[in-house]
Amino acid sequence: MTRKEAILKAAIQLFAQRGFHATSTSEVAKRAGVAEGTIFHYFKTKEGILMYLFEEIMDSYTEGIENILKKATSGMEAIEELIRFHFRFGEQRSQELKVVMRDFPSNLIEFGSPFREKVTERLSRIMDVTKECIERGLKDGSIRDLSPEETSFIIQGILIGVSRLKLMGPLRVPNLSSQVIDLCRRGLAKPN
């Protein structure tokens, strides 16, 4: 493991557990087994670690959902796969996701931040893909007549919120993925 990886690993663990603000760079360095200065050698600032993390995970997520869109045979199926992917992703990378969920919004909003652009770009890409799924479903008749814009917003809201509740809280809910899929399917499917 390179030093950079060690720093990232340590940061993810600590940020997920205690939060970004409550974690000091000296703690990260200690856990990573490197000198504190090394952190700043690789990531210019403490926020830089968060940024790197965010970009990395967002790119990975975006790539995943873009693949789904390519493979899916219908709009509704795409939505289902999207949800399935979302929860699978959340399980595989729960730590990183926790960090992003915990500490992200703060920076999202800060206007001066050099993040802002990158972040909003990624987020809107995610929203776009969801919208495209809906639009396809409208065309192929698998989804009922709904505004793609608004519906994709709600779908994203559902995924974020449910994941949040799951990641942050102590409650364990089995089959979350399939239950959300069922609910969404009934909500979106064309009435017969």
Residue with tokens 């993925």: 177
* CA proximity to 57, closest of 24, 90, 14: 90
Say whether residue 45 binds a copy of itself (CB under 8 A).
no
Query: Rounded to an integer, what distance in angstroms lies between the CA atom of residue 71 and that of residue 145?
Result: 23
In the stretch 41-70, what mask flags binding to DNA with x, by CB under 7 A?
xx-xxxx-----------------------
Among 1, 5, 24, 160, which residue sits at the site for DNA (rule: CB under 7 A)?
Answer: 24
CA-CA-CA-CA dihedral for 183, 133, 126, 105, to nearest 10: -30
The separation between the first and the last C-alpha atoms of the chain, rounded to the nearest angstrom, is: 56
Comparing CB distances to a copy of itself, the nearer of 6 and 94 is 94
Which residues within the stretch 135-174 sit at the binding site for a copy of itself (CB under 8 A)?
Answer: 146-147, 149-151, 153-154, 156-166, 168-169, 171, 173-174
Nearest CA to 69 out of 117, 125, 118, 121 is that of 125
Decide whether 40 or 85 has the Cβ nearer to DNA.
40
**8-34 b/e with 16+ CB inside 10 Å = b?**
bebbbbbbbeeebeebebeebbebbeb
- Contacts (CB under 8 A) with a copy of itself, residues 63-92: none
Question: What is the binding site for a copy of itself (CB under 8 A)?
Answer: 17-19, 21-22, 101-103, 105-106, 108-110, 123, 146-147, 149-151, 153-154, 156-166, 168-169, 171, 173-176, 179-180, 182-184, 186-188
For DNA, the binding residues (CB under 7 A) are: 2-4, 22-26, 34-42, 44-47
